[in-house]
Structure 1
Amino acid sequence: MSHRKRIGRGTLATLSGATALSLVLVGCSDSGSSDGAAPTGGGDLVIGVTSDPDTLFPWKATQFQAVNVLQNIYGTLTELDSDMSVVPGLAEEWETSEDGLSLTFHLRSGVTFQDGSAMDSEDVVFSLESIMAEETAAVAAASLAAVESVEAPDETTVVLELASPDASLPANLASVNMAILSSDDTEEELNSQPNGTGPFTFDNRVSSQSVTLVRNEEFWGYPAALASVEFRVIPDESAIVSALQSGNVQMSVFDDPLVAQTAETGEVTVEATAQLSYHALMLNASRGDLADRNVRLAIQCAIDRQEVLDTAALGEGEVTGPITSPAYRSDPQARPCPERDLGQAEQYLADAGLSEVTINAIVSQGEYATSVNEAQNLQAQLAEAGITLELEVLESGAYVDRWVAGDFDAAVALNGGNPDPHGMYGRYFTSDGNLNPVAGYSSPELDDLFARGRAVEDPDERREIYRQISEHLEENAAWIWLFTSYSYTATTSSVQGFTPMPNGSLRFLRTTALTS
């Protein structure tokens, strides 16, 4: 793919401690709709996607397709720019008290929701308190674990009082799972009629066919150049390629390098971007034989991760440990059995009093392209160690429902990454994390490490804490981390101004235009 831009480990590694520092400092620049000038152009962009969003409610969105739609409709207090640094969003600036226990946000004036109502501090208080409330079942609730209270001294000021300092909070607030909603709206209403403050507004949805957004003329930043964006559901990726080459679709993001290769022609270019997201075999340590650490370690030792990467993604990526955040990246060699060791796998099973074991694994079909190939390769490798992996292939929505409920023994998964490691794992591997039922594993040691990692601001000290977290997760085989890979953004020659991001965000649709 001659036009592809390759970003490998070296590039990610150069995003050093300076990146970590940028996550905790006050943001004061106006990111507007871009990192530079206002976009020019216009047009109606059609993006080919393989699945219909499974929800339009941002606090519960985990499916990639849903997140990509909703992040263009809703606003957050902070945002991430193209360098993954925290920049202003609905809050134009913020400051932290000297003791780190108070975080004050100053909101933009004149921001409105799609329905025309004003966004103010009351909406921010409502949103953050609702996310924290257990009955909401918000997927990012753990990101606010340090917050004791949310107060609004006036219409444009919000103060978060913290039980302990939280260096990860500004970055975590940039997730669409932390979207600021109108205090007048309900989940039921928003699932049919989203009402956000983002660069695009919801226009219409045809179930299993399309979701269409239109330019928000009242957006607080530069108005988007595009008049509309249609996310068109085309379940077969080869059909998306044909639609790109015929011009019926102008953009699509693939995760399968083979599909990306077939897409690139004279009129279609493909750009590869290294992703913070990671492929893993998630093990639910609360169920059956997987409750035994020796069984989990046997699975870890029976897998050649490079073979999974080569089989599923043509080797386009890197074997990874748990943490992919650039400034805190795990060493994949620092784990039991960094290379496949069937003898050691057999010994771990023997230590568990077993010679063979059977595990059910759920697999998503449609959310990302390499899932079934990964699952089948894992199945074949584990069989050689006396471990039977029974695969249950589910459509995307059914998979997400089972995953969120923790209703699985194992799950072949692609999870989103984060520039801050607490944002990646605090909600999974702490005993009170709201997604701990999904992880199925926690310990007092991890609880203490995560609490310390969240509270410490010194980059070197934080790196050491998260190294210990990574070591603990690997030595207990909480999950089996496999590899990171690339996203492949295919665009026709008429698409200008789009910037792919390492977290897979489509944030820069706001700077995109179509040329004739």
Structure 2
Amino acid sequence: MNRKLLVLPAVMGLAAPVLAGCGDSNAGSGGGDSIVIGTTDHIAVSKELPSPVDPATSYDGGTYTFFNNTFQMLLGYERSATIPSPDAAKSCEFSDTKSETYRCTLRDGLTFSNGHALTSEDVKFSIDRVIKIKSDYGPVSLLSNIQSVEAPDDKTVVFHLKASDATFPYKLATPAAAIVDSEVYPADKPLDGLQMVGSGPYKLDSWDGDKAVLSANPNYKGLVGKLNNSKVEVRFFETAADMEKALADGGIDMVNRTFTSDQIAGIQQGKEPNIKLTEASSPSVRYMFFNVDDPTVKDKAVREAIARLVDRDALTRDVTHRTATPLFGAVPTGIVGHSNAYFNTYGQPSRDKAAGALSAAGISTPVKLTFSYPTDRPATPNKEEAVALQKQLNGSGLFDVTLKGMPWKKFLPGAVKGQWAMYDLSWLPDFPDPDTYIAPFFAEGFLNLNYPGGDIKNSLLPSTRQTADRGQTDKDFLQMQDILARDLPVIPLYQDKQYVTTRDNITGAEWLLNSSSTAQFWELGRGVAG
């Protein structure tokens, strides 16, 4: 996953208060021509992914962009906010002192884009089906703490949790909790094809393979007060170079996801006239993961030697061309609980210390390893990064790393099933809280790393979820990162910078991405002041 807003506050929120809306609001429209958005995030039906745009089966930045604009969740984010507010809900609150029962009341007169009424039964249905389908590639881990969902009347939804979770409102603001039409979506299997029926600000008009067309949903009632455009076209490109040419020629108005670092550098230097580059801080991070049960990396000394050799400065200089900054903690800068645990533990790259770790463990060198990476994600320098890391490790004389490239449709299932010994992956947070950088991997098993989690899973993370004041969780998250630096199921590499690239007649780029780094198409306009 990968993206982000103008400024990410240094401290993420203070409390998760009672959430109360300010009444219903109908979406207006700024009118004008379609806003045409380019992306290299191809979404298509395949044998492996027959249901690529079902919220129960998709969990990546490309599909989340569509979900955020076509579906409603009970909660969402106002511009620049880091605490969710009611969207389909009129109000939500924990109704007990242990943060184990969460109650929401829906807005009046909600309907889906097809005219069907939206009731609490649809909310219950939507949550239950994600849990029932339990897709390996879906967001079910975000809902794993739900014991049961009740719909006592048409406008009331009650969530009973297995354990206290102050982050639960944030999870209800993610597409994991997208509300789908129970008259359209099957209860126990995904909806095949390229169909989306929701109640969000936009509705899907057509999807013909290389272009998806969305228009303003006249039935929408929720958090968004006004749309600065009436239609959005999303066009899919095979390469970032083709996409840049289309932007320069006026064939598209903006790029959401994503140019390469070389292209960003060229635009910064004025290569393309009439193109604006809006830079923003980003919560997107790049990690190196290990399947700690794989025989080649099972001995922690092997992973320690890698941690002592990885040169982040070289990666951000030579691979990302300064469009990223080195990261030494599992939680990035700008988020509560960020630390430099890995620098504190391993310091600057050192061949001698890496050799010492292997020698002390009785491991002969060079250690043979296979590094896996996807070959068809054009905006992410997967191959370049793999080659650079191979050069760093093999150059020490301590490793003999072989690279194994494969298409994304093979790479991701393999990662989820724990088939690769080591690989890099970009992570875009589900919500603006340190929990989302720790829990999916080390407590909820999104990737099969065979890492038991220990104190992180059993005590520290549950403790933070009892704390509504998220600013008070920093010590626990600092301790979790110390544990990860010690055990090394993951090595953080760098934190991306975020860029939104538009033609100079497009407004709203600075507001496009919310605090969860999800695109909000309604912010874009032509000369519209938002």
TM-score, normalisation: structure 2 = 0.87
Identity of aligned residues (%): 21
Per-residue CA deviations over 1:45-87 (Å, capped at 9, x if unaligned) read: 2111113125111233233222222221211121133233312
1:330 positional shift = 2.4
Q: Quick check: 1:360–1:389 contact (8 Å CA) kept in 2?
A: yes
1:279 corresponds to 2:299: no
Task: Answer with 496-505 or 471-480: which moved more.
Answer: 496-505
The correspondence of residues 32-47 of structure 1 with structure 2, limited to 5 A, is: 40-47=30-37
Q: Quick check: 1:251–1:492 contact (8 Å CA) kept in 2?
A: yes
The correspondence of residues 403-482 of structure 1 with structure 2, limited to 5 A, is: 403-417=415-429, 418-430=431-443, 433-437=444-448, 439-448=449-458, 449-459=460-470, 461-482=472-493
3-state SS in 2 of match to 1:235: coil
1:202 corresponds to 2:204: yes
1:15 corresponds to 2:27: no
1:298 positional shift = 1.2
User: Which of 225, 230, 242 lines up with 1:239 in the alignment?
Assistant: 242
Per-residue CA deviations over 1:18-57 (Å, capped at 9, x if unaligned) read: x3324x12232459899xx966243212111113125111
Q: Distance in 1 between matches of 2:25 and 2:288?
A: 37
The correspondence of residues 49-64 of structure 1 with structure 2, limited to 5 A, is: 49-53=39-43, 55-64=52-61
- Quick one: structure 1 residues 457 and 225, their matched pair in 2 at CA, closer, same or farther if it must change by over 3 Å? closer
Q: Quick check: 2:415–2:447 contact (8 Å CA) kept in 1?
A: no
- Quick one: structure 1 residues 458 and 70, their matched pair in 2 at CA, closer, same or farther if it must change by over 3 Å? closer
3-state SS in 2 of match to 1:290: coil
The correspondence of residues 361-440 of structure 1 with structure 2, limited to 5 A, is: 361-364=371-374, 365-366=376-377, 368-385=379-396, 386-417=398-429, 418-430=431-443, 433-437=444-448, 439-440=449-450
Q: Quick check: 2:377–2:408 contact (8 Å CA) kept in 1?
A: yes
Per-residue CA deviations over 1:322-343 (Å, capped at 9, x if unaligned) read: 0126122222555421321211
- Quick one: structure 1 residues 76 and 460, their matched pair in 2 at CA, closer, same or farther if it must change by over 3 Å? closer
1:454 positional shift = 1.7
Q: Distance in 1 between matches of 2:399 and 2:388?
A: 13
The correspondence of residues 123-134 of structure 1 with structure 2, limited to 5 A, is: 123-133=122-132
- Quick one: structure 1 residues 244 and 192, their matched pair in 2 at CA, closer, same or farther if it must change by over 3 Å? closer
The correspondence of residues 50-449 of structure 1 with structure 2, limited to 5 A, is: 50-53=40-43, 55-81=52-78, 82-96=80-94, 97-133=96-132, 135-137=134-136, 139-184=138-183, 185-186=185-186, 187-189=189-191, 191-207=193-209, 209-221=210-222, 222=225, 224-253=227-256, 254=258, 256-263=260-267, 265-320=272-327, 321-324=329-332, 326-332=335-341, 334-354=343-363, 355-364=365-374, 365-366=376-377, 368-385=379-396, 386-417=398-429, 418-430=431-443, 433-437=444-448, 439-448=449-458, 449=460
Q: Quick check: 2:103–2:156 contact (8 Å CA) kept in 1?
A: yes
Task: Answer with 221-230 or 209-218: which moved more.
Answer: 221-230
Per-residue CA deviations over 1:107-128 (Å, capped at 9, x if unaligned) read: 1222222332111111111222
Structure 2: segments with no counterpart, 5+ residues: 45-51
Q: Distance in 2 between matches of 1:291 and 1:200?
A: 48
- Quick one: structure 1 residues 356 and 128, their matched pair in 2 at CA, closer, same or farther if it must change by over 3 Å? same
1:268 positional shift = 1.0
Per-residue CA deviations over 1:344-398 (Å, capped at 9, x if unaligned) read: 2112222343222222222233253322222211111111232233222333333
Q: Distance in 2 between matches of 1:398 and 1:112?
A: 38
Structure 1: segments with no counterpart, 5+ residues: none
3-state SS in 2 of match to 1:189: coil
Corresponding letter in the other structure for 2:477: Y
Q: Distance in 1 between matches of 2:17 and 2:193?
A: 35
Measured on the aligned residues, the alpha-carbon RMSD in Å equals 2.7
- Quick one: structure 1 residues 502 and 88, their matched pair in 2 at CA, closer, same or farther if it must change by over 3 Å? closer
Q: Distance in 2 between matches of 1:428 and 1:289?
A: 20
Q: Distance in 2 between matches of 1:76 and 1:28?
A: 15
- Quick one: structure 1 residues 255 and 87, their matched pair in 2 at CA, closer, same or farther if it must change by over 3 Å? farther
Task: Answer with 240-249 or 336-345: which moved more.
Answer: 336-345
Aligned pair count? 499
- Quick one: structure 1 residues 89 and 405, their matched pair in 2 at CA, closer, same or farther if it must change by over 3 Å? farther
Q: Distance in 2 between matches of 1:191 and 1:454?
A: 37
1:48 corresponds to 2:38: yes
Per-residue CA deviations over 1:418-463 (Å, capped at 9, x if unaligned) read: 4112223212212xx24141x3312321212222122233445411
Q: Distance in 1 between matches of 2:104 and 2:275?
A: 43
Q: Distance in 1 between matches of 2:467 and 2:381?
A: 37
TM-score, normalisation: structure 1 = 0.89
Q: Distance in 1 between matches of 2:239 and 2:133?
A: 38
